[in-house]
Amino acid sequence: MTELLLLIGAYFIGSFATAVWVSKGVYGMDIREHGSGNAGATNTFRVLGPKAGTFVMLVDMFKGVLAVRLSYILPIYNEPEQITQLVNLQVGLGLAAVVGHIFPIWAGFRGGKGIATLFGMVLAIQPLVALCCVGVFLMILFLTRYVSLSSIIASIAFPVLILFIFREKEVFYRIFAIAVALMVVLTHQKNIARLLTGSESKVPLFKNRKNKHERE
């Protein structure tokens, strides 16, 4: 019963519609009516720029971290022999937050794709794996300036790291890693189509530098 309440709490945390509230409260518009129509960090980067996009991404990541940390409320899961049950609960809490992000009760059940929240979840469970994934993400973003492509490749790197580099023994977590990669690819089908046609929008990482040179 307590675990169920924690899962519900994790869903409510995930439902914190960062992109929607930032776009409405600061910019006077609904991010879901612009760009790709998603209420996530990628579309915020695309429509509102890197400052707003970075803020939304960090808060959405924190939602995943906070949801996983709910597992420590129950002392029984802190025992060494309960490590498998702890990881399973943490995965469940993280996924509940991701579901909340995708279908936020506070924003008419129209959210984003949950990539940043998913990353925050992995960061809380396995920080080293998460840091490797963010390294892949940043490298691809720097080279291509495509947030969507960076997310896709980083998500594919996740199960590769889990299965072949860190050799995770927990079967449920290995299945979860593979499922994450598949889910991200499936939810980015439109982005993949735009990438193939060359119509996907790039993040203006060097916009300020470019403007500075133009002024000079």
**What's the pLDDT tens digit per position in 11-52?**
999 999 999 999 999 999 999 999 889 899 888 988 998 899
pLDDT at 212: 41
pTM comes to 0.83
Task: Give the pLDDT confidence of 103-152 residue by residue, as tens digits.
Answer: 999 999 999 988 899 999 999 999 999 999 989 999 999 999 998 899 89
Closest to 184 (Cα-Cα) out of 94, 97, 119, 92: 119
Are 115 and 122 spatial neighbours (Cβ–Cβ below 8 Å)? no
Question: Between the CA atoms of 22, 24, 27 and 29, what dihedral angle is there, to the nearest 10 degrees?
Answer: 130
- Sequence-separated (6 or more) residues with CB below 8 Å from residue 122: 64, 94, 129, 130, 133, 158
- Residue 92 is classified by DSSP as H
Report how far residue 69's alpha carbon sits from residue 84's, in angstroms, rounded to the nearest whole number.
16
Rounded to an integer, what is the distance from CA 141 to the centroid of its chain? 15
